[in-house]
Structure 1
C-alpha cells in the first residue's frame, strides 16, 4: 500500500521537468516543433510529422523514420528536403504503434512517392511495429522496404537481438536523403544503405541517468562513477568506472570501438577518412562537448585517421542523461559528397565542407617589437614566490565569490598568476619597473577575462609611466593614484580610500579596506542582482587586491 510518507519519498525522487502533462508531453512537443518550422506538418489523428510540401516528393523515394520520443531532435528534426519525408513518434522510450506507421506510409505513397523507405533503429519493438506496417502496406500495393541500423560497438559478443541502433542512424538519414533527392530508385538506396551501415560505429558514456516523465531514474550511478556503453533508453552498458578526464574517456571509447577482438568493432586503419559525430546525450554543457570534440579529433589523428567532417551537438539524446556518444562513419569521396548535400532539415547543422584534418587552425598574431632595455633577473625567484602566495588564495576567493557572483574570482586571478609564472620562465624581467608594469598589463589583457581583468589592465597601464624614472615610495604613490584614477570606479574600497597615504601604510591598511567591503552595496556586475541581505562576505576582488599589494610590499622589502 502506498502511504503518504512513501508517496512523498517517491515524488521527491521523480525528477522535475518543465512540462504541462506527462500524458500530453509528446503531442505538445511535436506541436511545438511543427509550429516553429514552416516546412513541417502533423498528420491528424497520429503522432506523425511530415514535410508540408509533399508534392515535391512526387516521383522520388520518400524516407520515413521514427521510434520512441525522448531522443529529440531525432527523428522529426531531420525532416526536410534532402533528408526524411516524415517521422513517426511513440510515447517516451516506446515504439510507435503499427497503425501510425502505416498511416504515414500510405500518406507518402498517395502523395506521389515512387517508393517508401523506412529507416529503423535495431530495437525489437521498432522492428516489430515498423515491420508489421511494411507488410500491411505491401498488401495494398505500396512499394516499400526497410533498412535496419545497428551501429552499437559496446558488446564484444552481441546478443541474439544484435547490435543496438544509436546515433549513427542520423548518418543514414542524411546519405539516404541525398540519394532520394537525386532521384535514385528504392532498390539502389536500400542496397547502398545496407552497405553504409557496415561502416558506422557508435559508443557512448554516461555520468548520470535519465528518467521518463513521471517515473524514477532509469538506473542509478554512484557519485563519481560513469558507465561505458549504455543504450539510449538507459539499458546497461559494459562496465562502470571512476569518472576520468575527457582525454582518458575519449581514448577508452575509440580504443573499444576499434578493437578487432570486439565482434561489434568498427574496422579503422591509418589513412581512413571519417565523419565524426560528437553527440550530447542531453545534459552535458556545450563547453564539455567542445572539449570532447577537440580530444576526439586529436585521438583519431594520432592514429593516422583523417577526420573530414565533425558534427558536434545534440543529435540523438536520452532525455536529460548526462553523457555523450561518439559516432564514426568511414567515407569515400562519393559518400562525402552525399553527406555534404544541402538539406532544409531544422536539426541538421550548417557544416563547413573543408576537411578538418590537415587544416591550420591558427592565425599568426601581430608581433610587437621588442623594447630595448636592460634586463633584471635577480628578482625572478622572489617574484615567483609572491605569485605562488597569490595562487594560494584561489579557493578562498572562489568561496567568497559564490555568495554574490559565479564563484570564479579565484580561478580568474589564478589564470593571470599562472601566465606570469610561465612568462617568468620564458622571458627576462625588464630592469625598469615602468616597463615591468607595462608587460604585466599585456599579460593581464591576454590571459585574464572578467571585470577584474579589465580593471587591472587599466590600472597597470596607467601606473607604468610613473615608475620609468624612479621607484621610490613617492613614485609608487603617484603610480597607484594614477592607476586608481584610470579605473574611474575603484574595483575595491581598498584603493579608493588610501591612494594619498604613504605607500607602506597604504598597503598595510589594505586588509581593513577589503574587510569593509562587506558593508557596501554592489552597483554593477553580477553581485548587483543579488539581494543585499545575502551579501555578508567581503568582496573577493578586494581580498585579491589586498593580497597583491602585500605581495608587492614583500617583494620591495626583499
Structure 2
C-alpha cells in the first residue's frame, strides 16, 4: 500500500506499535509492570494480592481499544491484562502466562473476563483449560451486551463492547470485598444480563499501516457498529446531538429489537457515554447531557453517570452509550475505590454518592446591563440625552452594516469574524438601548456589560475594558475635556491588560492617534466638533497605515507579514464607529 493510502499515525513502526504502547503505559504508571516476553500488563504488587487470598482478575483482547484493557489494571479492578496485535485476539500462550502470573499459588482462583468475539472466546478458553490442567483454579465470564442486532437468525451473538469495562469494575469491587470465585461469577453474569450498549460512528478508523476500515459520506453516520469498524445495522444522515441520542436509545430500549435492554420507569441505571477514539470532549459532554435528559424524561433514574474515553476503536470519531440497571450491590462496586489509571472519578458534592442532575446555580449579580445608581453622578439634559441616543443608534447601525466588509478584512489575519462579533454587540446594544438616558457614567458601565456578555471573545473583553475605564471620567462631568480624558483612560486600560502598544497593528493604533489629536486640539481651544473631526481624520490615516505595520499583537502576529496586505479589521472598525459619531455631531 502506498503512503498516500495509509492513514497518518505517530508510530515508530507498525510491527512494534503495540509493544511500545504498553511500554509507555507502564512508564507513566510505575505501579504496573510488563511480563517478560509477553504483551501482558500486571500489577507490580501482585504477590501481595495473591497472599491476601483474594480472587484475581484477567481480561484483554486485541489492541486499538485503549485504555481498555490494560488501563483498568489496578487495585479494585483487574490484576492483569493481556494484549494482542491491533484488533487481533491475544495468543493462548500469552493468556496462559498471564493466568500463571496472577493464579499460581492462589487458591482463591482467577476470573477471566472476555468480550464476546469468537477469537477471544477460543483463545481465552484454551488458555483457561490449560491452566486448569496445571492445577490453577480458573473460571471465565463472556460479556456480550451489544443492543445493535435486530435479527433472530443465528449469529456469533451479541458483541462485547464498552459495558465490559463496567464488569471489570464490578468484579474488582466484589474481589476486594473477599467474595469467592463462584459468587463473583454468579453476580457478574447477572449484571451482564442487565446491561446494554449501542454505538454510533461519524467516521472510520484505520489500523496502523492501512487505510480506513470503511467509508462514510460527509453527511452520514452509522448506527450499531462494533469496536473494530465492522458494519452497523443502518446508515443515517447526520443529525443533531439530541436526535442522535434519541435514535440510539430508542433502538436500545425498543421491545421490537431482539437484543433490546428492558428498562422500566423508576429503574435506577448507570449510564456510560464512551468516546470511540476521535470524538472531542465538547461533543461528549453534550451527548452526556442529552442522554440524561432523554432517560429522565422517560422516568428512568440516572444514579451513576460516566463520560469519557473507556473503550475505543483507534481514532474512530463516534460514541457508544451503555446502560446498566443498578441495585445496591452494583452501586457499591461502582463507587468502590480503585487505583486503575483509566477509571474516571466524577466530581460529586461532598458526602453525596447518588448523583442528581443539577439545576442551574444562581448568583447574586445584578441583571445584565443594570448598574447601581445609589450614588449621585453627573446627569445630562433631555437635549443632550436625545443626541447621545441618536449617536449610539447610528454607531450600532454602522457596525451592523459593516459586518461583511470587516469579516473580509479579518479573514486575512484572523478567523474572519471581526465584523460578526461587533455586529452581535451592536445588535445587543440597539435592543437594550432606551431613550431615557440620564447618566453617561452608568450608561458606559451598562454598555460595558452588554459588549462583554453579548459580543464576547477578545473584542468583547477589550471594548468592555475600554468602556469601564472610560466611565470613571464621566462621573462628574461630560465636557469635551472629560470625553477626551475618558478616551485616554480607555486606551490605557487596553494597553495595560491587552498587551498591545501603538504601532502593533491593532485597534489601538487609530484610538491612540485620535486621542492624541483630540487632546492637543482641545488644549489649543479648537471647537469641540472640529477637534473631533481632526481626531477622526488622524484615526482614519492610522488605520490605513496598519497595512505597512508588522503585527506584534493579536492573531495577526502569528501570520506572515507578506500575507497581511489589507488594513487591520479591528482598526477599521474603530474608524467606522468614530465616523458614525462625527456624522451625528455635525
Aligned partner of 1:444 among 434, 451, 461: 451
**Cα gap change, 1:135 to 1:391, in 2 (>3 Å):** farther
User: How far off its partner does 1:413 sit?
Assistant: 4.2
Q: Which stretch shifts more, 365-374 or 285-294? A: 365-374
1:98 equivalent to 2:92? Answer yes
Deviation by residue 1:382-417 (Cα, 9 ceiling, x = unmatched): 978865764566676566555444565456546645
Matches within 5 A, 1:344-359: 344-353=339-348, 354=352, 355-359=354-358
- The aligned residue for residue 564 of structure 2 is 535
Q: Please give the secondary structure, in 2, of the residue aligned with 1:498.
A: helix
- The aligned residue for residue 521 of structure 1 is 550
Distance in structure 1 (CA, Å) of the matches to 2:445 and 2:343:
48
Aligned partner of 1:19 among 11, 28, 41: 11
Q: Please give the secondary structure, in 1, of the residue aligned with 2:201.
A: strand
Q: Which stretch shifts more, 125-134 or 290-299? A: 290-299
Deviation by residue 1:227-279 (Cα, 9 ceiling, x = unmatched): 22221111111222222222222222222222222122222233222222221
Deviation by residue 1:320-371 (Cα, 9 ceiling, x = unmatched): 1111222222212321111010000011112235443253451423347743
Distance in structure 2 (CA, Å) of the matches to 1:51 and 1:68:
20
The answer (yes or no) to whether the contact 1:55–1:112 under 8 Å persists in 2 is no
Q: Which stretch shifts more, 294-303 or 101-110? A: 294-303
- Note the residue ranges of structure 1 that are not aligned, 5 or more in a row: 1-6
Deviation by residue 1:64-89 (Cα, 9 ceiling, x = unmatched): 11111111100000000000011111
Aligned partner of 2:264 among 269, 288, 311: 269
> How many residue pairs end up in the alignment?
547
- The aligned residue for residue 4 of structure 1 is none
Aligned partner of 1:195 among 177, 190, 196: 190
Q: Which stretch shifts more, 391-400 or 314-323? A: 391-400
Q: TM-score, normalised by structure 2?
A: 0.84
Distance in structure 1 (CA, Å) of the matches to 2:343 and 2:202:
26
Q: Please give the secondary structure, in 2, of the residue aligned with 1:157.
A: coil
1:434 equivalent to 2:441? Answer yes
Matches within 5 A, 1:172-251: 172-251=167-246
Greater C-alpha Rg: 2
1:160 equivalent to 2:155? Answer yes
1:464 equivalent to 2:471? Answer yes
Matches within 5 A, 1:17-416: 17-58=9-50, 59-110=53-104, 112=106, 114-157=108-151, 160-353=155-348, 354=352, 355-367=354-366, 370-371=372-373, 387=396, 390=399, 400-401=409-410, 403-405=412-414, 409=418, 412-413=421-422, 416=425
Distance in structure 2 (CA, Å) of the matches to 1:454 and 1:228:
43
Deviation by residue 1:401-446 (Cα, 9 ceiling, x = unmatched): 554445654565466456546756xx88644333222101123344
The answer (yes or no) to whether the contact 2:225–2:233 under 8 Å persists in 1 is yes
Q: Please give the secondary structure, in 2, of the residue aligned with 1:267.
A: coil
Distance in structure 1 (CA, Å) of the matches to 2:420 and 2:270:
36
User: How far off its partner does 1:476 sit?
Assistant: 4.7
Q: CA RMSD in A?
A: 3.2
Deviation by residue 1:157-206 (Cα, 9 ceiling, x = unmatched): 26511121111111111111000111111111111111111222222222
- Note the residue ranges of structure 2 that are not aligned, 5 or more in a row: 496-500, 519-530
**Cα gap change, 1:498 to 1:71, in 2 (>3 Å):** same
